[in-house]
Amino acid sequence: MLPAQRRLHGLLLSPYTIPVMDTFRITGRRKLSGSITVRGAKNSALPILATSLLTDSPCSFSNIPLLRDIQTQVKILNTLGVETSWKGRSIATKVRDSYNNTAPYELVSQMRAGICVLGPLLAKRGEAIVSLPGGCVIGERPIDLHMRGLRALGAEMHVEHGYVHAKAPKGGLVGAEIYLGGTHGSSVLATENVMSAAVLAKGTTTIECAACEPEVVDVANCLISMGAKITGAGSPLITIRGVKKLRGAQHRVIPDRIEAGTFLLAGAITGSEITVKGCNPSHLLAFLDVVRQMGIEVERGKTSLTVRPGKRPQACDVVTLPYPAFPTDLQAQTMAMQCVSQGTGIITERIYPERFMAAAELKRMGANITVSNGQAVIQGISALSGAEIMASDLRASAALVLAGLAAKGETLIRRIYHIDRGYERIEERLNALGAKIERIPENEL
């Protein structure tokens, strides 16, 4: 069911608008039961929506999660002349005019993925002016790889007054051999951006050290259904043979692997039996391996994962790395689980060495965590205790919700707007399993 329309400060909000400063009040230690269905992947849906800029024909994208970041991406597309209409969780798009090639600061600064309009705009319209992106405060997030890849295709690029200015050569972009590796390995959005630009370039492009994440494969499959010639997506070498024109497409977004992992941990941390439905377990192998090492009992189906209560989980060591290794986007949630596990676990963050914002808040709940030099050492305790805490970024917020579900007493999580960027109505869906999470609007606190 879609969320009902709501009012905030007298304004009638669209069903997809979520007030920004809500608080969650969680009553902990309740057992969960039943099943929960995973929505479409946010990190696929965002770049996939941007591919609508590459064609003059109508497109239709389904399994789009109803999230604040998606709303922002739709607004960015609207300012770029793309007409959009919603039907349930599907969006139909059609480029109506191509006069404005500027993606403004007010929108792109709200999230990192705003940058993925850069490649499609440049390839189709020959010019793009895109604000430097924003996103979660999880450490420095440069865009040098995006710029390097697009420059290799012949674009002239510079940054001025906070905007990236990109111009294709006369006659359009030209295919090239591109090495896209950075100091931290591959980049998901840079791979998607360069791949989305190369589909309309003259000749062949190869991207070496491409990101292998399932979301990159999903974007490639969407482009292929528009007529693009791409091979190798999902491997570190992607080959793209440029075509003159793309047609419209219908594409269904893959399930969100990070949501699936988060829900599985909600079952594990509360010692409950729940089934996470509509997911793709083969996208979660490294995570499931860690879960197995922790002694958490999980039954794997073709499109589902069932977690069962068992002995107290055992701490284990985790290292985040690009796919297919353990995802950074499940690191904070796994840390919450480690807080109440037996023994000591070390989490090493190799993608965003500063992404440990959840630790300080978990410590308020009694957790024993020491963070230094991109590592967190977590000494398990028998139980967390509810406290007043603050959400700082999307995945840290999810970790705090998990901790609140497991903690003794009541937990108040302020600024939960971060979680609305990446999890659709998480409280309603967890409450349907038996959790008690109240959303308290800012003006009612």
CA distance 233 to 219: 9
Q: At closest approach, how far in Å is the CB of 325 from ligand EPU?
A: 10
Q: Give contact residues for ligand EPU (rule: CB under 6 A).
A: 43, 46, 112-113, 136, 140-146, 182-184, 187-190, 211, 215, 328-329, 351-352, 394-395, 422
Give the number of other Cβ atoms within 10 Å of residue 245's Cβ: 12
Closest CB to ligand EPU among residues 32, 166: 166
CA distance 286 to 265: 14
Q: How many CA atoms lie within 13 A of 352 on its CB side?
A: 20
Q: At closest approach, how far in Å is the CB of 41 from ligand EPU?
A: 9
Sign (positive or negative) of CA dihedral 259, 261, 267, 268? negative
Closest CB to ligand EPU among residues 258, 269: 258
Q: How many CA atoms lie within 13 A of 443 on its CB side?
A: 5
Q: At closest approach, how far in Å is the CB of 137 from ligand EPU?
A: 11
Catalytic, 209? Answer no
Closest CB to ligand EPU among residues 36, 188: 188
Closest CB to ligand EPU among residues 38, 188: 188
Q: At closest approach, how far in Å is the CB of 366 from ligand EPU?
A: 26
Tell me the sheet residues that pair with 237: 208
Q: Is 173 helix (H, G, I), strand (E, B) or coil?
A: coil
Closest CB to ligand EPU among residues 255, 271: 255
Q: Which of 59, 116, 136, 316 is catalytic?
A: 136
Closest CB to ligand EPU among residues 117, 351: 351
Torsion of CA 329, 330, 332, 335, to 10 degrees: -160
Rounded to the nearest angstrom, the gap between the alpha carbon of residue 379 and the centroid of all alpha carbons in its chain is 29
Q: Which of 400, 442, 397, 437 is nearest to 419 (CA)?
A: 397
> Residue 330 class from Cβ within 10 Å (0-12 exposed, 13-18 middle, 19+ buried)?
buried
CA distance 84 to 92: 6
Q: At closest approach, how far in Å is the CB of 428 from ligand EPU?
A: 21
Query: How far, in Å, are 271, 311, 313 from residue 297 at the CA level?
Result: 10, 9, 9
Task: Give the residue numbers marked as catalytic.
Answer: 136
